[in-house]
Structures are given as C-alpha cells and as structure tokens.
Amino acid sequence: MKAEYINSFLDSARMVIEQMVQIRPSTGQLTVKDIKFTDHQVWVQIGLTGEMSGDIVFGLSESVALRLISAMMGGFAITEIDELGRSAISELGNMIGGNASTMLYNQGLQVDITPPKVMAEINSFTARRALTVPLIMDGIGEMEIQVLIA
C-alpha cells in the first residue's frame, strides 16, 4: 500500500468533522504500530474492497466519543453511548469512508467500502500492524485513524 493513500482518509475525516461539529482537526504524526484494542474504547471498522482491500478503523475513547456525539447533536448533553449515539458515530465513519473512496477513485483507484461496524469490544478482530494517524479535535479529544491493508 502506498502511504499517501492514507491522506484521502485524513482529508475526508478533517472535512467531515469540520462540517459536522465545526472544528477543524489537526493531525498528529504518522506511525506504523501494532493496534492494541483496549477497554473503554469505541471502534468503527469499515472494510475496503476493490483495488485496495483491508480495513479502516477509527478508534476513540468513550469520553471522546461522547463529546463528539454531543457536538454532532448540536451540543445536546450525552451521558452514554446508546443506539442513537452508535448510529451517529457509525454515520460519521460512513461519511468519512465514502468521501475517501471518492477521493481515491479520483486518483485512479477503485475502492468500495462496507457498512461501518461500531464496536465497544473487538473480540473477532485479529491485531495487526497499521498505519496510524491521530486526529486532534480541540475541545473534544483525539481520534485515531488506523489503516490495515491486506
């Protein structure tokens, strides 16, 4: 996988988050690391098929997820990640993935995405190495974009 393909996901995430919560995220340092799924995390997994196959996983702590969901809902206080909250996070992942696949298509790469899966626990997900970039959202926290390409 070409490392520059992650830029489509970063650009898409910055654009979608800015539209949804009126915050322009900054990016941290690109690293390659073993993904460690921990407790009190929310994971949004989107599969990639076509000329690029693998997964994009968005990882954020429950507290960051609550602040992000609250911001997406116009500041309405959220105290737990219920069905509506999971739906909001899922749609955020879907919008990011969809925009990124369009950007990749415009670069000559045919990529389709699977519907997002929101998970509080990853039991069936085999840990792998991933390209990882944190997105820092002022007043909300950090969300990691992890690209796992087969």
Does the structure show a pLDDT above 90 at 142? yes
The values of phi and psi at residue 49, to 5°, are -130, 165
pLDDT of residue 131: 85
pLDDT of residue 14: 95
CATH code where residue 9 lies: 3.40.1550.10
Among 8-17, 38-47, 60-69, 91-100, the least confident range: 38-47
Domain that holds residue 22: 3-149
Kindly report, residue by residue over 109-141, the tens digit of the pLDDT: 999 999 999 876 555 556 678 888 999 999 999
- Mean pLDDT for 34-51 is 84
Kindly report, residue by residue over 45-80, the tens digit of the pLDDT: 999 999 988 888 999 999 999 999 999 988 888 899
pLDDT of residue 121: 53
CA atoms of 88 and 85, how far apart (whole Å):
5
User: How do 117-119 and 26-27 pair as beta strands?
Assistant: unpaired
How many independent structural domains does the chain possess? 1
CA atoms of 54 and 70, how far apart (whole Å):
30
pLDDT of residue 148: 82
pLDDT greater at residue 79 or residue 3: 79
Count of Cβ atoms closer than 10 Å to residue 58 Cβ: 24
Identify the H or E element spanning 135: strand 129-137
